[in-house]
Amino acid sequence: MNNALELFETGEGRFQPDLKFMYADGRQYVLDQQFLAFLVGTVALGLPFVMLFAAAAGTCFYYSISHFYYAKFFGDVLVAALVFIGTFLISYRGENSAESKLATVAGICAYGIAVFPTAGRGCEDLGYSGRLMASFTADTPKGPVTVVPADDPGGFFELFSNVGVLHFASAALLFSFFAFYTFFVFTRVIKDEHLDQKGVLTPVKKTRNGLYIGCGIVIVLSMAAMALHALIGGSWEWWDENNATFWCEALSLWAFGLSWMVKGRFYGWALLDPRDRA
């Protein structure tokens, strides 16, 4: 076996085959995990592009993907995508209970990112339309409405005090899950499927593992850059001016999405094992 790839091997048969269920009349129903992996990868891969389209369409180019929560319509798209990814992760079942529980925690974290939006305006445009957190009062049922920040001192862009802590914690755990799966789950080797008669990884498995490891490296480097900015980059004016958080999040999502699309064999179109072609 290739020693470089063996580093990521922690057990045999590490990805559970398609789950099979039986209807009452005995017919078999198969949950196609490869298709679901491809689908969730497509959503993750496409989300940054949707937000870039939103910025080009007149919405503010926010500092981060998370800040698009405050954009009209596209904030709903962001929440829907996160809920979809979270639901998939919660329903995902790995080869053992530990992997399944880890995926469930990651799914809950995806929900956390959606439910606990990031704080702050996140936009330098002097004029733009969007959503805000506010309290409304009126003297009469049909009279003029007075608008005030929903939670001082958080202002119009904070759900409640310190909500950003929950948001960042959820995001950090979710991206850590992304990296763990690309390094240690997707690279697993099943002897009967991924090794030839000489016990060497098949070329297609080597290619897939190389892509997985590359995606994991991109995710880790992106996380490290954002963590470094959070710790010591308070005076980095260039960071927000160039939407660096957005691009770091986009790179992580693209890497995550690509890894799951590879896991789903691009819906049966590429990087197939011999068994997949049968």
Give the pLDDT score at 49. Answer: 98
Q: Which helix (H) or strand (E) holds 146?
A: strand 145-149
In a domain, 18, yes or no: no
Tell if the pTM clears 0.85, that is, is over it: no
CA distance linking residue 96 with residue 181, whole number of Å: 14
Cβ partners under 8 Å of residue 135, min gap 6: 147, 148, 149, 150
Question: Looking at the domain assignment, is residue 12 inside a domain?
Answer: no
Tokens representing residue 81 in the block = 């995508």
Domain that holds residue 170: 3-7+23-277
Domain count, the chain: 1
Residue 17 lies in a domain: no
Query: pLDDT tens, position by position, for the chain (278 residues)?
Result: 444 445 454 444 444 444 554 445 555 444 567 788 889 999 999 999 999 999 999 899 999 999 999 999 999 999 999 999 999 999 887 666 777 888 899 999 999 999 999 999 899 888 888 888 888 889 898 889 998 887 666 689 988 888 999 999 999 999 999 999 899 888 888 777 777 777 788 888 889 999 999 999 999 999 999 999 989 977 888 999 999 999 999 999 999 999 999 988 887 787 877 666 65
DSSP 92: -
pLDDT, tens digit (0-9, with 9 covering 90-100), for 108-165: 999 999 999 999 989 988 888 888 888 888 989 888 999 888 766 668 998 888 899 9
